Amino acid sequence: MVEFVSNYSLTLLIKDTMRPARPRETVRFSRTERQASIISAAASLFADKGFKGTTTREIAKTAAISEALLFKYFPTKQALYAAILAEKAPISQLLEVVEDAANKRDDVRVFTLIASYRIHRGSDPSLMRLLLFSALEGHELSEMFFQNQHRMFFEYLSGYIAQRIDEGAFKRVDPLLAARGFMGMVVHHRLLHEIFRIPTHCAPEESVLTYVQLFLDGLVNMAPRPARKRARA
């Protein structure tokens, strides 16, 4: 009887072993989710290894997809670079808010919005590393960023400064150099804390407020406007 039970148990064990395994449940991602996963994987690798040191095979492996599927989403490298910039540095909504403040001649808000946008992006230091790698390697992403975004900031900001100079609100300075000077403070802040890992000693909001105050204190025209001569009757 014992031998029969043992043989019976062994038979059940063999049948259970030969039974085809249940297919694992596959996680289905939407096209948007998959695209975001690829962008995240590519940006992370580029920021860590540079563009020359990263292959499409590594990007596909990190995103847990095949190279064929990678090229289906991004048929060219340029398309992938453009998607990274759009994901990492969106500015369309920012410019709308900045223009609203500029139309109201709210100088503090204009400069605060721009500084806050750049400094608060510090939560994602990969963008700064991406741009540095692209500039040092002579990569096209650097040119894409400058043409599409960096130049837009400088042109818009210098245009606003020039307008405020004509209105007598700001001192007579070179508008483009003034815009570069302001953005220089912001970029230097990010280099110190994101690349060189120097600990911050105050909150981002306080840093923004200090930079804006220092800049405008040196730019605002405190001299009284000359009185306009009345036209003779």
Q: Is residue 1 part of a domain?
A: no
Q: Is residue 10 part of a domain?
A: no
Number of domains into which the chain is organized: 2
Question: How far apart, in Å, are the Cα atoms of 13 and each of 4, 6, 18?
Answer: 14, 10, 9
Q: Does the reported pTM lie above 0.85?
A: no
Whether residues 98 and 56 share a domain: the answer is: no
- DSSP3 helix / strand / coil % (the chain, rounded to 5): 70, 0, 30
Long-range Cβ contact pairs of 179-183 (< 8 A, separation 24 or more): 179/153, 179/154, 180/154, 181/215, 182/111, 182/114, 182/115, 182/157, 182/211, 182/215, 183/114, 183/118, 183/153, 183/154, 183/157
Whether residues 64 and 147 share a domain: the answer is: no
Of 133, 72, 116, nearest to 211 by C-alpha is: 116
Whether residues 213 and 131 share a domain: the answer is: yes
Out of 62-76, 121-135, 167-181, least confident range: 121-135
Whether residues 78 and 93 share a domain: the answer is: no
For position 169, what pLDDT does the model report? 97
Q: Is residue 12 part of a domain?
A: no
Q: Is residue 73 part of a domain?
A: yes
Domain boundary at 67, 85, 103, which? 85
- Please determine, for residue 18, whether its predicted confidence score (pLDDT) is greater than 60: no
Phi/psi at 220 (5° precision) = -65, 135
Q: Specify the CATH number for the domain of residue 203.
A: 1.10.357.10
DSSP notation for 116-151: HHHHHGGG-THHHHHHHHHHHTT-HHHHHHIIIIIH
The pLDDT of 57-76, averaged and rounded, is 94
CB neighbourhood size of 158 (10 A)? 18
Whether residues 36 and 151 share a domain: the answer is: no
- Please determine, for residue 125, whether its predicted confidence score (pLDDT) is greater than 80: no
For position 221, what pLDDT does the model report? 86
Q: Is residue 8 part of a domain?
A: no
Q: Is residue 113 part of a domain?
A: yes
The pLDDT of 76-93, averaged and rounded, is 81
Q: Which structural domain, as residue segments, surrounds residue 172?
A: 89-219
Distance CA 106, CA 218 (A): 17
Whether residues 75 and 95 share a domain: the answer is: no
Domain boundary at 70, 85, 100, which? 85
Cα atoms in the Cβ-side hemisphere of radius 13 Å centred on 81: 16
Q: What is the pLDDT of residues 179-226, one digit of tens each?
A: 999 999 998 999 998 888 899 999 999 999 999 999 999 999 887 555
Whether residues 135 and 165 share a domain: the answer is: yes
Whether residues 72 and 174 share a domain: the answer is: no
Whether residues 193 and 96 share a domain: the answer is: yes
Q: Specify the CATH number for the domain of residue 68.
A: 1.10.10.60
Q: What is the pLDDT of residues 139-168, one digit of tens each?
A: 888 888 887 777 778 889 999 999 999 999
Q: Which residues, in sequence order, are CB contacts of 125 under 8 Å at separation 6+?
A: 47, 190, 194, 195
Whether residues 54 and 148 share a domain: the answer is: no
For residues 167-195, one letter each, b for 16 or more C-beta atoms within 10 angstroms of the residue's C-beta and e for the rest, the string is: eeebeeeebeebbeebbebbbebbeebbe
Whether residues 164 and 105 share a domain: the answer is: yes
For position 229, what pLDDT does the model report? 52
Q: Is residue 208 part of a domain?
A: yes
